[in-house]
Structures are given as structure tokens and as C-alpha cells.
Amino acid sequence: MSPPILSALLAPASVAVIGGSDRQGSVGEVVVENILAGGFAGTVFLINPRPLSVPGTTWVAQIADLPQPPDLAIVVVPAAAAPGAIAELGAAGVRVAVILSAGLTEANGLRQAVLDAARPHGLRLVGPNGLGLLAPHARLNASFARGTPLAGGLALISQSGALISGLVDWATTRQLGFSGIVSVGDMADIDLADLIDLFAADPRTDAILLYIEGVTRGARFMAAAQAAARLKPVIALKAGRNPASGRAVRSHTGALAGAYDVHACAFERAGIVQVESLTDLFDAAAVLRGGPELQGELQGERLAIVTNGGGAGILALDAMTAGTGVLADLSPQTLEQLSSALPAGWSHGNPVDLIGDAPVERYRAALDAVLADDGVDAVLVMNCPTALLDPRDIAQGVAAAVVAARGRGILKPVIACWLGDTNQDIAGPILSAAGIAMFGAPDTAIRGFGHLIAAHKAAARLSAPPAASEPRQDRPSAARALIATARAEGRSLLNEIEAKALLDAFGVSTVPTRLAATPAEVSAVCAGLAPPYAVKIVSPQIVHKSDVGGVVLNLPDAQAAVEAAEAIAARVATACPGAVITGFAVQTMVAPGRAHEVIVGLAPDPTFGPVLMVGAGGKAVEVIRDHALGLPPLNGAAALAMLARTRISRLLAGYRDEPAADIAGIVATLEALSAIATELPEVLELDINPLRVDAHGVMALDARVVISLDPAPASRLVLPA
Amino acid sequence: MSPPILSALLAPASVAVIGGSDRQGSVGEVVVENILAGGFAGTVFLINPRPLSVPGTTWVAQIADLPQPPDLAIVVVPAAAAPGAIAELGAAGVRVAVILSAGLTEANGLRQAVLDAARPHGLRLVGPNGLGLLAPHARLNASFARGTPLAGGLALISQSGALISGLVDWATTRQLGFSGIVSVGDMADIDLADLIDLFAADPRTDAILLYIEGVTRGARFMAAAQAAARLKPVIALKAGRNPASGRAVRSHTGALAGAYDVHACAFERAGIVQVESLTDLFDAAAVLRGGPELQGELQGERLAIVTNGGGAGILALDAMTAGTGVLADLSPQTLEQLSSALPAGWSHGNPVDLIGDAPVERYRAALDAVLADDGVDAVLVMNCPTALLDPRDIAQGVAAAVVAARGRGILKPVIACWLGDTNQDIAGPILSAAGIAMFGAPDTAIRGFGHLIAAHKAAARLSAPPAASEPRQDRPSAARALIATARAEGRSLLNEIEAKALLDAFGVSTVPTRLAATPAEVSAVCAGLAPPYAVKIVSPQIVHKSDVGGVVLNLPDAQAAVEAAEAIAARVATACPGAVITGFAVQTMVAPGRAHEVIVGLAPDPTFGPVLMVGAGGKAVEVIRDHALGLPPLNGAAALAMLARTRISRLLAGYRDEPAADIAGIVATLEALSAIATELPEVLELDINPLRVDAHGVMALDARVVISLDPAPASRLVLPA
């Protein structure tokens, strides 16, 4: 968005409230009241056909009567009047309007009507159906939010208006201030991406907080978020982790890749720090908003804990899980230094227990020692209050020690946990000034450290984005021929033979498989394959073959294979009477032996495009639910990181006398699917299940591919590198 | 403990501080200062050889000079002086002393010395090395805690003194008061169980909160906790979830059954509500302290959510996981009732979104409707503040609606979430008076509901404790003969043949297995078994046979089995040169087919005695880490509940065309191990891994049994029914 829009929203010199009112308790009155109560210094126009005399405002009967176009318009008229008001504002030369009015829907046409009214004039819209806009540096509260936020460095962009007052309240308690708060409403025009761009460019904004229910324009959002995240922390809470019901999908990958998980995956790629609750949103802001200059720079996850209460140290350790740090091993030199500074009863390890009566000198000595240790990446300093010592003194000593360390070039982040609300309130401001974020309980402090780690990882990802493998132009051409055939026949589901040929074209090894049109033909097909055999039904109507008795394994010879095909035909005739039988896929049976069954897949997300999946496969895939998602394009390192997030990766790594499985083969398969996703937009869904994996290699035993019948499938989301 | 001790601790008429001081900042001075500042109305004796003149206290030079025995003595003298002081206090007729002094250890003998000094007089001791005792109803703060707690219904028993001040601070912020706070210190005499007994009998105590680092006297603790939990909620936070390192154990079951998990399992059996953080400790207290009269009675987990903010409702739903409720399905009648009371734009389902501008009437109508719905067990009512309405009005209306429903006999619990600290502070007291616990964020509110569910389940367990199967006297005798043989040979590890025979005696079916003393003998042994064969090393020194190449599977005939035994002998000679080879176990090889591999085991816990385990088995058991624990004795229902907590139980239940496995067989195996645990104290550890399970039955393919060589093994913990 252009700079005029940024300044119109965050630093307007004049505001007009269209539909402003003096009727007690109406939205028009509450908004005007909030603007006046907030102390906005600019001109406030109140536009209402009825003459009004509200001190501090200038009444105007209609938009056309305004003496000059206001920098910002707030629209609170009834829905039906909104398009007319927008047209008049546009004609008057207004650049930005915030529509609070509800009831402008696609169904009643009013949503489109306001867009149509605004477009000829280049008028940009926030809303409709939002709570409004708050720009604390301009002392502007153009909303019906309750409470007045402090001015500060946080930008809040929320898809829920109702949450805003609560968030302002929490932030105020934590002494956190805002550069701007925008309730985006229905996002008819200005959306999350626009506002991320705006706050990324705003020099007063230190961090961007997002409450998201659903992203629109996925590629645009990703570009905006990636650009912003290179400049300042972008922290998001995504609602809908517990979807009432899944989407209608035909593939395992689609069924397993829920919208929340795909958003999480996209956020990770974009360098966004994702949190799981409203409380975490602010905790993350508290540890991240200062940036490296103030809060230090994390280089790893090794945490030293300095505490005057053993129990508090243990509880912090208890709260540490994957992604929230590992306990640092202190060097022998550090231990020696600590032993000389601390009483004999100290813990002689990490957590460093200074004993309950620890005065400030002990804290300083311990901080000096652990901050200097090369095996320590960050420090959590804890205080359990006692009547013996003043928590203020301890806080001052800790702040001084950290500032002194910064002066010596030690930029390791330090976070604090002062137990109890009073203790925290006393010490918080002292520590905050030294760039030390404060928490009131061991578990929240460790979650706070987790946000620091997440931000560190996000920054690392942005500085080294995965690149796709080199495109090989011969692959798509071979695959496109297969797809053309299926399309010509109006089939969106490739049969098993075609699906395996497509994989073959992308270098994924598949088990030899041939098609027999009838049970009788099975015998001839077996002649070209090594026994034992597996026989599976091939029918455009049958997606999950096992469920209808359409698979028979372990057939020792051709005769048994023929009989199995006959039995399958009989069962399918009963179970799916309408199914057209293309034939029977006959393949060499690969004994499971000690092999692992893995699933690798590709499915479309309506917002972010194709999504890759890897996890534990086999028939029980949806019962086991052990998988990880990733967005294409990805390289080997990103594919390996995806695999590492699954439980089955621990088995694949080998254990006891079991050798490691061919992990490189799984990675190569994921890279092949990434190539298919980027090079063949016709492929909508693809499941390889199972991918048989042992120490010697990988082999796709079964595959399902769904293609688009659209002659020109929408071009894919291409993620910015 | 006898009532005099209860009243001495919680309502003493006089207190003597042995080592009380006026030296600024000393423990002796801070404790006296706290007692005086708290407003204690009784007599305060200050015992110090040096004459002291502290207003509000009576100075006495030595204990023998006390005019009468004080009800309570607080000992703050240096460690070395403590045994003498205790002896004098006992001689003077004091019944209870709280020792704050640190440094009385087993190593320096002072811990035993104070016990020896107290015992002849029947003097009971709290501590040493504690923070002290607070009895707010007596306005007594005999501690060096910071801050003064409110008087109320919570008892806090803490193994960490350092945490107490923080906990008092939190509770005060939440307007929660205490009946008593005891820092138990090193628990030389009075321990957790004693204090649980005390507060269970205290009529002022509504709920007992425990911070536990480690339980002593497991059986005694269980009895006290079970008895207390029948009377009032017992809520525990156990530290040490993240152990730095495991204990040295020889069995899989032992390695997998960590101390934290065993405590959790014992707490569950005892009816204790376990929480995972300090914050949760108070959140649980807030939802549980009122009891059913005030807070309603939960009958199930189905939650209705009533909110004026859609986003807040979604975030509450997002926070719901296993154990924190399920979303209630509202009846058609309820939906109709809501539709007639709410504006057209309401959510038409659960969560019930009243829309942001909802006045109190909408809240009342919605509460009336959902509280009357038979498909609803509890209600979460949420308020997102806006400038349009006063949160106080909403709170009053909600409280009135709930009180009115109680009057109609509807006892369903209601919890509240008013977003933001200010909003929460305004509404909290109004709702609290109506028995509605208040939370400030959707995720904490749902965790609060989870505590209510946990308490409901704990109460259900206490009212129907698992009974052991009927003992069968023939079983132990057969097994004891085997054990006697091994003991006679000084072997604590039964060999595979013996282990299977023991299982056989308890009705667990095992794969036919015979012992060949040498590779040559293998051939003769094979003659009595059906091929194919498995051959395994039998040696007292070799526990994990696969790790040393001691297992060969899938041997088609006797000759192959002989060769395999020779190869094993060669490998073992290299890998374990000192191992004594008892021989080779030869068994019919059972093809894995579609069978599941399960582990069932028994291991000793130093505190709680034998622990049972079930989970995913096989060679990868310690990599997969999917298991659940239980304490014997257990019946079929308890065994089934244990199994249901594992991930593998979802596979065992059957899926797609896979039939359910023989779950009854696994349950029977767990019951057999429970019988072994209760009837054969000689058996210390037992692993069945794998237990082969398919649709047709279960069979133990391998078993390891470790027995005690102690001629009279300690009798087992017998859990009270």
C-alpha cells in the first residue's frame, strides 16, 4: 500500500465518522465517545443528517458538505446505506475508509456494492464488520473497543473484533503498548497481507501480532509475511486447531492435512512465529519485541537456569519439551568458578541453585559465570521471594550483571521468572529496561524461551530458504502423455498402472505391475512377472481397494492369481455394483520382511496450493496419524527436516541391531513429489502408500493419483525463495 | 495424628521461638517479625540466652524457664544446637515443634539426633530445613515467607519452601485464602501422609494442595490420600517430570516406568487430581474448592460454550483435547429455544455465539436453554468486553441465571471466562459468589474444565476401586518351585524356559520352547517341536539377546537350527567373553503375519512397589515409547482402561478390513501379572516381549523374569480398596 494509506490509518490529521451519533449506547455514539476520550488531537467531523452538537466535533449534514476530504473516514451507517456513503467519500477524495457496519454480505450483494462504489475513486476499505481502528501514537481510538491501549511498538491485526478489548487489557497489564490495532472484519478489500506490508514499513512497529481465522490470497500473504519477518518478528495465533469436521477429500494425504496444519506449515515457511493461545501471543511479544540489540541474539537452545529455589528450577526443567530448549552442560571451568562464589550447598550443576537466602552478589557471580560459558546459549534467572531479601535489589543486580555482560560483547538472551504476581510487578520494569522479559511462573518462562527459539529458527529458515531441485524437462513430457490419455477418457483418477508410470517418470522406483483386463488374462500377465503375486482391482469408482475386498496378497502362482481375480470380481460386484472394472493390477509380491511402510503424498490446499506429506504408512495410516507436512518447493534438507518431525523417523534411523533404513530414498521421493507439484499443475492429489523402505532402498508398492479435468489448471502457488 | 497436634499447628494459644532474635535480617528475627506483623493474638515467647526486648514478645533465657509449655515451638537455632533444644522442649511437655534450621543431615547424624531427642517425650517434629508454618485463621505466620496469606479453605503442603511465597502471592491475587500452609522440609518425622490426615480432618479445609518432590512411605501416603480424597479435593503437583537420567534397571518395563509416571499412576489410584504447573494448581483449586453444593456436580464431559465473541469460542474449542471435555451436541429443542431468543445471526450451534453486542438478557436466555439440555453436562460462559456494555451487568445476570437454575435442581457446573485482566477482576467476585470459577483466557478456562473432569473421574474411581482376581492357591506353588531352583543356584535371572513355565502356571499361554545344553543337542530338541524354529542364547549374563547376535529366527529345519546355535555360540564368545552359556532355547517360530507385538511387564518402584505396564512391544519398544502404567491389584476393567491409554490400542481395536485383536487376552495377561505381583513377592521384574496378539488369541513369545535372592522378600504394598 502507498505511504499515504499508512499515514491515513496511523497518523490522520482529520477523521470523519459517517453515521456518528449522540444516541447513548449506539455504535455511532460509542465510536465518537472513544475518539474524544482517547485525546485525538485532529479534527473530528460527525456526519449525520440530523443536526448534532457534540463538543469537540464538527457537525456536517452530508459528506458533500465536508470542507476538505478527511484523512480517514469511519463508516457506521446501516448496511444498506454503506455503498452510497462509500461512493460519496470516494467522490470527496477520501483515500481510506474503515467500515464498522455489519450485514454487508455476498448474499445480499452489499459487499460487492461497496467495492464497486470505492474502486473508481481508488478509495481503500478496511472491513466491513470490524470493531475499528486504534492508532495509539495519534491517540486515536476509532473503534468500539473497551479500554485505551498504551502507545508502543506492537502492531495487532485481528480477524476477530471481539478479542481486541481483552488483548488491549492484557497488554496494558504487561505494560506493552501498540503502534496500531486493526480489526480487519470481513476483509472485502484491505486484507492481512496489505496490513502486514503496512506495519512492516512502519518504523514505530517492533513486532506484528496476528490473530487469524483464515488466510485469503495465500501467495500474497506468504510474500508479505516473508518480507515482514525479515525486518521484525511476526507472531501469529491461528484459530481452528480443533476443526468441527474435515473437508471432503478423497486421498489419505488430503484427509490428514487439515487446514490448521497447512496454515502452520505455511507460517513456518514464511518465518512467522506461531503460538497456540492468546496468552502466548503476548508472552511471545514480550520476549521478541526488543530485537537483538536489546534482548540479545540466540545462537542455540542450551539454557542455563539460575535460581534461589531448587523446586522452581526443577519445575522449569519439567516444562522443557521438544522445541523449548535443552539444559546446558556447564563447563568444568564454570563449575569451578561457581563453587568458589557460592556456598558449599549449591547444586553443583545446572539448574544452578543459589539456595533460598541468596543475596544479590550470588546472583551476579552466577550470571557472570554462566553467561561466559561457551556451552550456554541463554539464561533463565529465577527468584522465589522470601522475607529475607527484597526482590527489587535482586532485579537491579541481575539487570546490572546483564548490562555489564552486553558491554563485554556477550549478547546471549536472558529471561526472568520472579514467582508471584507482586514479585513480578516489582521486578518487571527494572528487568524490562535491560531487555530481560519477565514471567511469573516456571512453565510460562520456558514457553517464553520456546518463542525465542522459534523466532531464531524462523530467521534461520528465511536466510536459507529451500530451493527446488533442478527441473528436468524430460519428466513432465512423459507424465503429460499419461495424463492426456486419462483426460481424454474423462477420468480424474489414474489407474494403478498409470500412477506408477507417472512416478517412474519422476525417478521413483515402483514395484513391477501389469494390467490384466479380465481374470482370465491374469495368467498371461503373470508369465512376465516373478511370483509370488499380489492382485488388486482397477476401477475408476474404487478408491480404497482394501475396504471392498479388492486386494489379495501372497499368491504363489499364476493359477492362484487367476482365482483371486475371480474372487475379487465377485466381491466387488456385490460391494460396488455400479463400479466399472477396468481390470486387475498384477504385481510381484514384495515380502514385508523387516521393511517399514511409509506414506508420501501430495494434496491441494484451497489457500496455499499443493502440500506435501510424509509419515507412517500402510493400511492403518489414518489410525496411526503420524505424519508431517511441508510446502513445495523443497530441497533435501527441508525434506529431511519434515521426516524428522514424525515418530516413525526414530525407527527409520535404526535401533539395537536394526540398521538404518534408506532415509535418502524417502527424501528423494519427497523431492520427486515436490517436482511433480511444481512442474505438473494437472496433478491434484497423489498418495504413495505404502512406500516400502528398508536398509537397501525404497519402492512404491501402491500409488493413487487424482488429476484435474480442467483443460488449463490454475497455475500453482510459487513460493518466493 | 491426634487432635491436639492439629490444634497445636493450626490454632495454638502460645508459640515459642527457640533462637528468636532481634538481629536484623537473621532468620530468627524475620520469623518473629512475621509472627508479630501477622497479628497473632496468643503469647509469643522468644527464647535466647541473650536478653531481648521485642515488643509483643516475652523473653525467656532458656526452655526450662518457660512458665508453661507453649502449644507450638519454632526452632531456628543452629543445626548443632537443635538436638539439645528438642530434648529440652520434649522435657518441658511441648507436643509439636517446627524446625526451620538447615544442616541436619543423615551424614552428620543430626537428623537422627533430633528424632532420638524427641521420641522419648512423644514430641512430633515438622522439618527440619523448612520455611515454616502459616495458620491464617489464627493469624499466625511462623515462617520466613514473604507476604501474608488470606484466611480461607485451602491447605497447602509443600516440599519446597522457596515456592511458598510465590504461591501465597498468586492465591492472594485470585482472592483465595488458606486454612494452613506447611513447609515440610526434610520430613524427618511428620511427612506428607501425616499432614494429609490432619487437613482431611480439619473442618476449615475445603481442598488440599500438594507440591511433591518425592513421596516417602508409599503405602501410608496412598492410604492417607485415598481417605482424604473421599472427603475433599486433593490436588497435587509432582516435580521431576523431566528426569535428568533414568534409574539403573535391567528390564524394559523398569526403563520405561519412570518415577514421575509411577507417581502419576499412584495419584490416579488414590483419587488425587494431578496438575502439571503451579498455575494449574490454583486453577484446579478455584474450580474444585467449593464442592458440589456451591459449584455443581459434573456427570460427564459434554460442554456447552456461550460467548459474545465467535473467536473466543473457537479458541476454547481449540484448547479442548483428550481429558478436557467434548463439545456438547445441543438438542433440536434447545436450538429452537435459542433461535427464538437470539438475533438471526447467532451461530445456530455450539459454541453458542450471542454476537458481540449481546446484552445480559441474551446471556440469561442462552444459559437457561443450555443448562436445561440433557445433552449438556457443564457450561463455559465467555465475555469479550466492548465499550457497548458493562461486564459487571453481564456477570450479575449470569450469576442470577445460574443461581436460579440451581433452585430448579440443575446442578451442572458453570465456569466463566471474562477476557482481559480488568474485565476478569470486575466480574470475578460476582461470579465466584455464585460458585462460578473465573478464568481470563479461553485456554486456561478449558484447562480448568479439565480439572473438574479429572476430579469427577477421581471420585468415580474411589467409589469403584478395582478388585484383584480371586487368588488361586495352586498357582504360586508351581511357580515357587521354579524360583526355589534358581535361588538355590544363586541366579536372580530365570532362564527363558523357567520364565515361560512361570507364566504358564499363571495361565499365560507361551510358545512351546525347550532347552538344548549344546548346539549338538539342538537337533534332538527340534524333533519334539514343529518347524520352522527360532534359536536363542540362554545365559545368566545376557539380558538383551538381540544386541549380541544371540537370536536367529526362521530356521527351516533341525540342521539349520544346529548351525544357528553354533553361530550364536561363536558370536557370543566374542561379544561377551565372560558369559556362562546355559544352553540354547529352541522354539517353534511363530510367523508374525498380521499379528501385533505387545509388551506386558512388571517392575518394582522404590516407593509404590510393583508397577504393571502394557504397550507397543517388539524390539523397538524403547524407541516407540507407547505404554501405560497401572498399580496392582487390578481387575479387567482397570486393565482395559490401562490399555486404552496407549496408541497401539487404536490398532488393536481393528480398522478398515482388519479385525479386532484379542483384547480380552491382553487384559487376562495383565490380570495374571497383577496376580504374580500380589501373590509372588519374590518376582521383582517381569517382561513379556513380545506378546503376540492377533484376532485369535495372545501368546508370549519371549519372557524375562528377575527374582529376589533375599530369602524373605519385603512384603508388597497392598493398596487399600
Chain B residue closest in CA terms to A546: B657
Give the tens place of pLDDT for each residue, B639-666: 999 999 999 999 999 998 889 999 999 9
Q: Provide the 10 A C-beta neighbour count for residue B4.
A: 12
Give the tens place of pLDDT for each residue, A484-513: 999 998 889 898 889 999 999 999 999 988
CB contact under 8 A, B388 and A544: no
Give the tens place of pLDDT for each residue, B80-92: 999 999 999 999 9
Give the tens place of pLDDT for each residue, B337-392: 999 999 988 889 999 999 888 999 999 999 999 999 999 999 999 999 888 888 89
Judge whether B541 and B579 are in contact, CB under 8 Å. Answer: yes
Q: Pick the residue with more confidence: B424 or A196?
A: A196
Average pLDDT over residues B97-121: 95
The one-letter amino acid at B298: L
Residue A315 sits at the vertex; the CA angle it makes with A313 and A318, to the nearest 5 degrees, is 115
Contact list in B for residue A315 (CB cut-off 8 A) is 237, 239, 277-278
Closest CA of chain B from A57, distance in Å: 20
Contact list in A for residue B314 (CB cut-off 8 A) is 213, 239-240
Contact list in A for residue B618 (CB cut-off 8 A) is none
Give the tens place of pLDDT for each residue, A145-160: 888 899 999 999 999 9
The DSSP bridge partners found for residue B45 are B16, B58
Contact list in B for residue A172 (CB cut-off 8 A) is 422
What's the pLDDT at A321? 86
Element (H, E) at B515: strand B513-516
Chain A residue closest in CA terms to B329: A244
CA atoms of B598 and B624, how far apart (whole Å): 12
Closest CA of chain B from A442, distance in Å: 8
Q: Provide the 10 A C-beta neighbour count for residue A329.
A: 14
Give the tens place of pLDDT for each residue, A350-364: 999 998 889 999 999
pLDDT of residue B247 exceeding 60: no
What is the per-residue DSSP string for B183-238? E-TT-SSS-HHHHHHHHHH-TT-SEEEEEES--SSHHHHHHHHHHHHTTS-EEEEE
CA atoms of A532 and B132, how far apart (whole Å): 77
**A76, A170, A627, best to mutate vs chain B, most B CBs in 10 Å:** A170
Chain A residue closest in CA terms to B174: A421
Give the tens place of pLDDT for each residue, B59-83: 999 999 999 999 999 999 999 999 9
ipTM for the assembly: 0.88
| Residue A83 φ/ψ, nearest 5 degrees | -60, -40
CA atoms of B415 and B286, how far apart (whole Å): 10
Contact list in A for residue B240 (CB cut-off 8 A) is 314, 318
What's the pLDDT at A251? 57
Q: Where are the alpha helices (DSSP H) in A103-208?
A: 110-118, 162-173, 192-201
Average pLDDT over residues A427-441: 90
| Residue A342 φ/ψ, nearest 5 degrees | -110, 160
pTM: 0.90
CB contact under 8 A, A168 and B420: yes
Largest CA distance in chain A: 97
Q: Provide the 10 A C-beta neighbour count for residue B658.
A: 18
Element (H, E) at A524: helix A519-526
Average pLDDT over residues B230-234: 92
For chains A and B, what is the number of CB pairs under 8 angstroms? 246
CB contact under 8 A, B165 and A420: yes
CB contact under 8 A, B277 and A167: no
Average pLDDT over residues A447-475: 79
Average pLDDT over residues A219-226: 95
Closest CA of chain A from B487, distance in Å: 31
> Could you tell me the three cell numbers for B189?
518425622
pLDDT of residue A45 exceeding 50: yes
CA atoms of B687 and A606, how far apart (whole Å): 50
Give the tens place of pLDDT for each residue, A366-386: 999 999 999 999 999 999 988
| Residue B364 φ/ψ, nearest 5 degrees | -65, -45
Average pLDDT over residues B486-500: 90
pLDDT of residue A423 exceeding 90: no
Any residues with CB less than 8 A from the CB of A336 and at least 6 apart, and which? none
pLDDT of residue A469 exceeding 70: no
Judge whether B612 and B602 are in contact, CB under 8 Å. Answer: yes
SS3 string, A429-471, reads: HHHHCCCCEEECCHHHHHHHHHHHHHHHHHHHHHHCCCCCCCC
For β-strands A551-555 and A533-538, DSSP reports them as: antiparallel
Which of A158, A387, A419 is nearest residue B163 as measured by Cβ atoms?
Answer: A419
Q: What's chain A's length in residues?
A: 721
Residue A230, classed as helix, strand or coil, is: coil
What proportions of chain A, in percent to the nearest 5, are helix, strand and coil? 40, 20, 40
What's the pLDDT at A253? 63
Q: Provide the 10 A C-beta neighbour count for residue B667.
A: 22
> Residue A67 burial (CB < 10 Å; 0-12/13-18/19+)?
exposed
Give the single-character DSSP code of B25.
Answer: T
> Residue B357 burial (CB < 10 Å; 0-12/13-18/19+)?
middle
C-alpha R_g of chain A: 31
Q: Which residue, among B296, B262, B579, has the nearest Cα to B410 in the 3D structure? A: B296
Which of B145, B647, B655 is nearest residue A387 as measured by Cβ atoms?
Answer: B145
CA atoms of B448 and B416, how far apart (whole Å): 10
CB contact under 8 A, B165 and A317: no
> Could you tell me the three cell numbers for B372?
436445561
**B134, B146, B394, best to mutate vs chain A, most A CBs in 10 Å:** B146
CB contact under 8 A, B443 and A278: yes
- pLDDT-derived band at A242 (thresholds 50, 70, 90) equals confident
> Residue B131 burial (CB < 10 Å; 0-12/13-18/19+)?
buried
Give the tens place of pLDDT for each residue, B164-218: 988 998 888 888 899 999 999 999 999 999 999 999 999 999 999 999 998 988 9
Residue A192 sits at the vertex; the CA angle it makes with A188 and A197, to the nearest 5 degrees, is 120
CB contact under 8 A, B166 and A419: yes
CB contact under 8 A, B384 and A320: no
pLDDT of residue B719 exceeding 70: no
CB contact under 8 A, B162 and A620: no
CA atoms of B143 and B99, how far apart (whole Å): 10
Backbone angle region of B554, left / alpha / beta, with phi > 0 → left and psi within -120 to 50 → alpha: left
Contact list in B for residue A33 (CB cut-off 8 A) is 387
Tracing cell 494449574 back to the chain, one arrives at B280
- pLDDT-derived band at A2 (thresholds 50, 70, 90) equals very low
- pLDDT-derived band at B479 (thresholds 50, 70, 90) equals confident
